[in-house]
Every structure is written in C-alpha cells, then in structure tokens.
Amino acid sequence: MPCGWVTGDEVYGSDRQMGLWLESRGQSFVLAAENEPLWWQGPDYVRADRIADALPAQAWRRLSAGAGAKGERLYDWALTPLWRMQIATEERCFGHYLLVRRTLDEKREHAYYAVHAPRSNVTRQTSVNVAARRWEIETGSEATKGECRLDQYVVRR
C-alpha cells in the first residue's frame, strides 16, 4: 500500500534487511534505532551516542512531539546527515540522517532514529512529526486491545 512515510520502533529500526528493502523501494522512513554504529563523516563507524555528543549546541532545536496526557511533549531534537556510498543517480536523490531526541530533564537521555528520505523533503520538523506518529499508533493500538479485550488474550495452544 503506497504511503508517504514508514515509522516504527526499535524492533523495526534494528532490522537492517527491512531498512534496505524500504530503501530499494524508494520509501521514506523514520525508524527508532538503538545506539548502533553508523557512518557519519566517512566510511568509519561511529556510535549514535558519540555522534550526538559531538553535535554543536546550534544543532539542537526544541520542538513538540505532539500533545500528551500532560500537555505538549517537548524535547530537544537534532538532525545530522549520515555518510552513505551512493553510486546511482536515483540513490543520490535520497539522504540518510540521524535524528536524535534529547529529554529536557537533568538526565538528558537520548533516543535515536534512522531517517531515509528524498533530500528535498527531509527537514527536522518533518522527521520529528513522523517519529511522533509512532506514539499515536501505539496509543491507539493499546486502546483498541483494551476495548476488544485482547489485552488479556493469551494463546494457550
């Protein structure tokens, strides 16, 4: 089914085959990723947390990830391009990025997202909006399970 963006949690973000499949189809995505090594400024692997720590202060912007139960879900967000070998012309139309979400509390915890999209369409705000949709989907799924009593359904055999 055609769609503008695909989003998912770490289960999907850590599935390299899925990411490559989406890329081969020219599908834009924002997938939550663990603190994994990525190609940042060349073909040498750098862990996502090291990339986040190396970003300058001006790389971060405070943006809302939408309304939550206690009001706006505000975080600091950074988007930085990743290095990727792209040989074909159509491959070079797409960019690969690391989106980092940082909490505002004293812990300053990070969450990482792999982003793949046409260079002309990717912005920090768009990437944040897509990443935030995942929470809406999870909330709706949990509510539906409760309403249908699937939250207590267990297959025994």
Q: What is the DSSP letter of 99?
A: E
At 16, list the tokens: 């390299």
Most confident of 7-21, 40-54, 79-93, 130-144: 40-54
pLDDT tens-digit profile of 26-53?
999 999 988 888 999 999 999 999 999 9
At 107, list the tokens: 């812990």
**Domain chopping of the chain, boundaries:** 5-151
Q: Write the CATH number of the domain with boundaries 5-151.
A: 3.90.350.10
Instruction: State residue 71's pLDDT score.
Output: 82
Q: Determine the Cα–Cα distance for residues 31 and 83; give it in Å rounded to an integer.
A: 17
Q: Could you tell me the pTM of the whole model?
A: 0.83
Of the candidates 146, 138, 78, the residue with the CA atom closest to the CA atom of residue 112? 78
Q: Which residues, in sequence order, are CB contacts of 130 under 8 Å at separation 6+? A: 5, 7, 30
Q: Is the pLDDT of residue 157 over 60?
A: no
pLDDT tens-digit profile of 75-101?
999 999 999 877 777 778 899 999 999
Containing 37, the helix (H) or strand (E) segment is strand 37-39
Question: Average pLDDT over the chain, rounded to whole?
Answer: 86
